[in-house]
Structure 1
Amino acid sequence: MSEHRIRLFCLPYAGGSARLYQQWQQALPDTVEVWPLELPGRGSRFGEPPYERLEPLVDDVVAAVQDAQQRSDLPFALFGYSFGSVAAYEAALRLEAVGRPPVSLTVAAFRSPAAAPPATSRASLPDAEFRAVVGKLGGTPRELLDNDAFMAMALPVIRADLRIADTYGHRSGPPLGCPVAAFAGADDPLFAVADVAGWARHTTEPFTLHVVPGDHFFFHSHQEQLCKTLGAALTAHC
């Protein structure tokens, strides 16, 4: 008999796939069922074009969550990393509006929706410059960055994700009615701790800020600490 008492839907950073979360079922408590969501253009949905607008992306995430919840109606939480934070937050708003709210939302390595987006999107850069930017972000191993065939497949997906992330701004509406937790990298060059702390404005329930050592990709460098902290918080919702 399953010991799961809460389901965690996970969304990746720009260009990432559900495989990013393949170790999390072992890293999180047995009471947590890890449910990575695969987005178009990657992994098992490689043949589908990636979304370049927010609305269809959120439609996709909400539909996936609702389908999973029909199979087994566990309490559920949402987790998004960087670009994934946008999709997770907007999906949480939509699900709450239809009476199917998450018990919590966790975001990581992304600015508060109230913060102004950058003046220009990285997605508009020419291919050579965009590839250089992706390299500097630090989330792609050097052997893949140097693989032209791989980058030819990956860059359109990353570009589409960043087009959504870089143009995202909070739209009018009520804040979430569930607790929100946010993780920030202490040395993140993209989003300072203060940028991430602004998520406190987007919930009427308790807000918790966790500062983790590392840069923008503390997801990899400090994953054990991230999962330990997240697991403790999720257990409290069981």
Structure 2
Amino acid sequence: MLTPVNDLGDDPRRPVLICLPYAGGSARAFGAWGPALSAAGIGLLAVRLPGREELVRRRPYTRPKELVADLANEIAPIASSRPYALFGHSMGAGLAHTLTHEMSRRRYALPDPLVVSAHRAPHLPAPWPPTGDLADTELVDFLRVFGLVSVAALAIPELVELLLPMLRADLALAAAVPCRPRRPLSCRTVVYGGLDDPFVDAPALSAWGAAVLGTPHVRRFPGGHLFPWEHPEEFGRILLADLAALSATTVGEAG
């Protein structure tokens, strides 16, 4: 599932950013981030989930526990040898948080930082109604109204037909992510949100303070639920700044 997006280099200690996609997203969503991260000395790995791209014929995950266990197994060699950060957007943020708890349970090194984007604090209820029983047309309307899929994509019937099974599986996966208070995580945490996101408002972002030790850095960007792809230049600049400590590790080791 871990898919290289840029050149990880020959140095096994080079830091890595691992990205988890939003519902309906893919590893390709992070492709444009590769060059800037390479220039900063950071490798980029994206999680390619089954049910899409080259894994389109594989059964999608619908249980977070299974997915998180498999991801922890893949990340274990990275966590034991090099600094790494986790980034998750929307569904990916809930999974990244759950994955970090699994890494902690196994006593693996934790990400520095954990970046959670467009997701409420994990102990808060889901901000949308259940979608499992929606007919296809109702689900498309839901996706359009809340900006979960681009309007351009939803205007192509053949593409919608391909996307809906994957989206249903992803929404089921996102709905199954545990929603309960847990022991606060000890890793540095950064929280991102969109100013016009209909799902995740400022209080839902600030509430991440209950999920981590210390005070998370909360940043809000222009745009809706998919704000990183609406304003990529501003987003990329701030993401790199928040990963500065990670890239500085490379400089220190190389020097």
TM over 0.5: yes
In structure 2, relative to structure 1, the CA distance for the partners of 1:172 and 1:194 (3 Å cut) is: closer
Of 144-153 and 86-95, more deviation after overlay is shown by 144-153
Aligned pair partner of 1:61 in 65, 71, 75? 71
In structure 2, relative to structure 1, the CA distance for the partners of 1:124 and 1:59 (3 Å cut) is: farther
Q: Does 1:35 align with 2:42?
A: no
What are the residue-to-residue correspondences of 1:42-121 with 2, within 5 Å?
Answer: 42-66=52-76, 68-69=78-79, 73-100=81-108, 101-118=110-127, 120-121=129-130
Separation in 2, partners of 1:179, 1:220: 24
Counterpart of 2:243 in 1: which secondary structure?
helix
RMSD, aligned α-carbons: 2.1
Q: Which runs of 5+ in 2 are unaligned?
A: 1-8, 250-255
Separation in 1, partners of 2:128, 2:215: 32
Shift in Å, 1:171? 3.7
The one-letter amino acid of 1:45's match is L
- Could you tell me which residue of structure 2 aligns to residue 138 of structure 1? 147
Counterpart of 1:129 in 2: which secondary structure?
helix
Counterpart of 1:22 in 2: which secondary structure?
helix
- Could you tell me which residue of structure 2 aligns to residue 157 of structure 1? 166
Q: How high is the TM-score relative to the length of structure 1?
A: 0.90
Of 59-68 and 29-38, more deviation after overlay is shown by 59-68
The one-letter amino acid of 1:66's match is A
Separation in 2, partners of 1:119, 1:215: 15
Separation in 1, partners of 2:71, 2:140: 28
Kept in 2, the 8 Å contact 1:117–1:169? The answer is no
Segments ≥4 residues shifted beyond 6 Å: none
Q: How high is the TM-score relative to the length of structure 2?
A: 0.84
Kept in 1, the 8 Å contact 2:118–2:225? The answer is yes
Aligned length: 236
Kept in 2, the 8 Å contact 1:6–1:234? The answer is no
Separation in 2, partners of 1:232, 1:59: 30
Counterpart of 1:23 in 2: which secondary structure?
helix
Shift in Å, 1:126? 1.4
Kept in 1, the 8 Å contact 2:91–2:174? The answer is yes
Q: Does 1:195 align with 2:209?
A: no
Shift in Å, 1:154? 1.0
Separation in 2, partners of 1:16, 1:116: 22
In structure 2, relative to structure 1, the CA distance for the partners of 1:130 and 1:67 (3 Å cut) is: farther
The one-letter amino acid of 1:53's match is R
Of 90-99 and 60-69, more deviation after overlay is shown by 60-69
Shift in Å, 1:5? 3.5
The one-letter amino acid of 1:232's match is A
Q: Give CA deviations for 1:18-44 in whole Å, capped at 9, x if unaligned.
A: 000001111334221111111111122
**% identity of equivalent residues:** 30
Shift in Å, 1:137? 3.0
Separation in 2, partners of 1:219, 1:61: 24
- Could you tell me which residue of structure 2 aligns to residue 221 of structure 1? 230
In structure 2, relative to structure 1, the CA distance for the partners of 1:37 and 1:182 (3 Å cut) is: same
Kept in 2, the 8 Å contact 1:180–1:200? The answer is no
Separation in 2, partners of 1:83, 1:147: 24
Q: Give CA deviations for 1:167-186 in whole Å, capped at 9, x if unaligned.
A: 54434531111011000111
Counterpart of 2:122 in 1: which secondary structure?
coil
The one-letter amino acid of 1:94's match is E
